[in-house]
């Protein structure tokens, strides 16, 4: 929503909105002259209507409940209401565009794609779900030919998009609050693919390979029968070196300044999209690789705390947890890392996101978390869902102990207690990897507050 607001404001539209939080994204909006109300009230709609000559259009997301006071006032005033996806669909339709979809890696892939285009002077417009480090924002109103959009499948609204090139990173059942089964998700993604002029897909994903007819394929496992391939030569804790193939022919080698096979796949997708839709040469793209960084909340180093390195990551599905832990384990084992110091041990702090997802994937989460040296669990972040019996962090802890009897697992009752558990059970040299899509990213602030409180008490004792 904030990315859309930024782009519209930069294109000369009068934009207003509301958000009870006052964070960096809100400050960016205000800096662009966007009026952001601190409270969501029906009075806001009256204020906006009184300041304009033409009735405003109100844009909402799926997260807005029907009893929201602004939404109710909008209906009473009979203003036009658009879903966020309707607005994004209009932007995608208005210019050549690349829409990146998939169960995992779409934010990273669209971020890497945007960065490669930006560093090769293409100045794309970007609407991304996470912060693009190159721009310091999740939205950018570019002057170039292309628009890059992250196409979220969580509510099925991506079927509205008609992109010049669609990209699907992978497919796996998630968002069980919306999709009853995998077939439903496959059918939705097929509609998305059919709505795009061309489709680029991941050959390594068995579901995509079986059910989709893509214009072009990429892989990190084989260069045979695929259009683009990145075959890893060396996997380090701080980078990946890979040979790049097009149509089965070796065209060069890259050094990706990001570890992990999942990031190599995301980068190959971005390179392939640039080759297909922007017509950029491999040499042009190779020069831009050094500037690649993951988006915010994707293995995001928050700082050092009592000789522990704290990293925040958005992983909230078993496959994402597995991939993130594998990348962190590579850093521990290789002694190489993009962090200030190579970590000695891996402490996973995980917050399950949604009761429906926790219930569906309880044992899968237990398996994935087994690659850590110790595990701390936060309470389930419900995201508006009602609790489901058995879908709790305590149940997950039991499942982990059944699969990994020797693994230390503790459950915190809130973020404050979780910070105390980190203090008690972590060791100097640990990588404290905080994972989840809820408010567990605030743990860094809790740890800092804990240190301040401890120092204050020590000074009083002295």
Same domain, 70 and 107: no
Same domain, 108 and 68: no
The question of whether 77 is a catalytic residue gets the answer no
The question of whether 150 is a catalytic residue gets the answer yes
Domain boundary among the residues 242, 260, 291 is at 291
Asked whether the predicted pLDDT for residue 60 surpasses 90, the reply is yes
Asked whether the predicted pLDDT for residue 235 surpasses 90, the reply is yes
CATH code, domain with 432: 3.90.190.20
Asked whether the predicted pLDDT for residue 457 surpasses 90, the reply is no
CATH code, domain with 67: 3.40.50.720
CATH code, domain with 128: 3.40.1190.10
Q: Of the listed 74, 109, 125, 150, which one is catalytic?
A: 150
Q: Could you read off the pLDDT of 322-361 as tens digits, one per residue? A: 999 999 999 999 999 999 999 999 999 999 999 999 999 9
Same domain, 30 and 94: no
Domain boundary among the residues 62, 79, 96 is at 79
Same domain, 320 and 209: no
The question of whether 107 is a catalytic residue gets the answer yes
Asked whether the predicted pLDDT for residue 162 surpasses 90, the reply is yes
Q: How many domains does the chain have?
A: 3
Length reported for the chain:
462
Q: What pLDDT does residue 462 have? A: 58
Phi then psi for 276, rounded to 5 degrees?
-75, -45
Q: Of the listed 70, 74, 106, 120, which one is catalytic?
A: 106
Asked whether the predicted pLDDT for residue 461 surpasses 70, the reply is no
Give the pLDDT mean for 91-105: 97
Domain boundary among the residues 79, 101, 123 is at 79
DSSP state of 403: H
Same domain, 117 and 250: yes
For the chain, what is the mean pLDDT?
Answer: 95
Q: What pLDDT does residue 453 have? A: 80
pLDDT-derived band at 63 (thresholds 50, 70, 90) equals confident
Same domain, 258 and 334: no
Q: What pLDDT does residue 21 have? A: 82
Same domain, 243 and 354: no
Same domain, 260 and 374: no
d(CA 420, CA 91): 47
Same domain, 365 and 265: no
Same domain, 62 and 112: no
With beta carbons less than 8 A apart as the criterion, state whether 397 and 403 touch. Answer: no
Q: Pairing relation of β-strands 374-377 and 408-411? A: parallel
Q: Which domain, by its residues, includes 422?
A: 300-458
Q: What pLDDT does residue 218 have? A: 98
pLDDT-derived band at 75 (thresholds 50, 70, 90) equals very high
Q: Of the listed 107, 108, 120, 169, which one is catalytic?
A: 107
Same domain, 411 and 336: yes
CB atoms within 10 A of CB 39: 11
Give the predicted TM-score (pTM) of the model.
0.91
Same domain, 266 and 309: no
Short-list 335, 245, 280, CA closest to 118: 280
Q: Could you read off the pLDDT of 391-447 as tens digits, one per residue? A: 999 999 999 999 999 999 999 999 999 999 999 999 999 999 999 999 999 999 999
């Amino acid at each position: 929503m904030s990315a859309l607001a930024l782009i519209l404001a930069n294109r000369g539209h009068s934009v207003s909105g509301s958000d009870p939080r006052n964070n960096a994204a809100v400050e960016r909006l205000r800096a662009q002259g966007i009026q952001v109300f601190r409270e969501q009230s029906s009075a806001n709609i009256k204020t906006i209507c009184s300041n304009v000559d033409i009735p405003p259009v109100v844009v909402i997301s799926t997260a807005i409940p029907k009893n929201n006071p602004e939404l109710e006032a909008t209906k009473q005033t009979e203003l036009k209401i658009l879903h966020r996806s309707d607005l994004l669909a209009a932007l995608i339709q208005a210019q050549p565009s690349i829409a990146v979809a998939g169960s995992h890696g779409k934010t990273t892939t669209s971020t890497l794609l945007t960065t490669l285009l930006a560093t090769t002077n293409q100045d794309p417009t970007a609407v991304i779900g996470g912060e693009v480090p190159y721009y310091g924002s999740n939205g950018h109103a570019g002057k170039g030919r292309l628009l890059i959009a992250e196409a979220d499948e969580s509510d099925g609204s991506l079927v509205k998009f008609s992109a010049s090139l669609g990209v699907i990173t992978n497919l796996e059942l998630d968002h069980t609050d919306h999709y009853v089964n995998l077939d439903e998700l496959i059918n939705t993604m097929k509609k998305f693919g059919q709505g795009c002029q061309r489709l680029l897909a991941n050959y390594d994903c068995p579901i995509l390979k079986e059910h989709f007819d893509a214009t072009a394929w990429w892989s990190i496992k084989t260069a045979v029968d695929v259009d683009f391939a990145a075959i890893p030569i060396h996997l380090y804790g701080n980078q990946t070196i890979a040979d790049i193939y097009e149509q089965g022919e070796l065209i060069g080698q890259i050094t990706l300044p990001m570890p992990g096979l999942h990031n190599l796949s995301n980068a190959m997708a971005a390179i392939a999209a640039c080759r297909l839709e922007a017509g950029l040469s491999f040499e042009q793209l190779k020069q831009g690789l050094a500037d690649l960084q993951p988006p915010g909340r994707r293995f995001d180093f928050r700082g050092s705390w009592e000789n522990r390195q704290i990293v925040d990551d958005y992983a909230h599905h078993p496959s994402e947890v597995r991939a993130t832990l594998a990348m962190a384990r590579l850093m521990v084992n290789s002694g190489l890392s993009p962090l200030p110091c190579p970590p000695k041990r891996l402490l996973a702090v995980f917050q399950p996101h949604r009761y429906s997802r926790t219930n569906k994937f309880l044992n899968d989460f237990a398996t994935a978390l087994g690659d850590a040296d110790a595990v701390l669990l936060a309470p389930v972040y419900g995201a508006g869902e009602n609790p489901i019996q058995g879908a709790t962090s305590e149940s997950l802890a039991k499942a982990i102990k059944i699969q990994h009897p020797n693994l230390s697992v503790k459950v915190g009752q809130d973020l404050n207690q979780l910070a105390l558990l980190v203090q008690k059970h972590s060791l100097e040299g640990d990588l404290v990897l905080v994972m989840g899509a809820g408010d567990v990213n605030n743990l860094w602030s809790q740890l800092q507050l804990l240190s301040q409180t401890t120092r204050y008490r020590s000074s009083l004792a002295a």
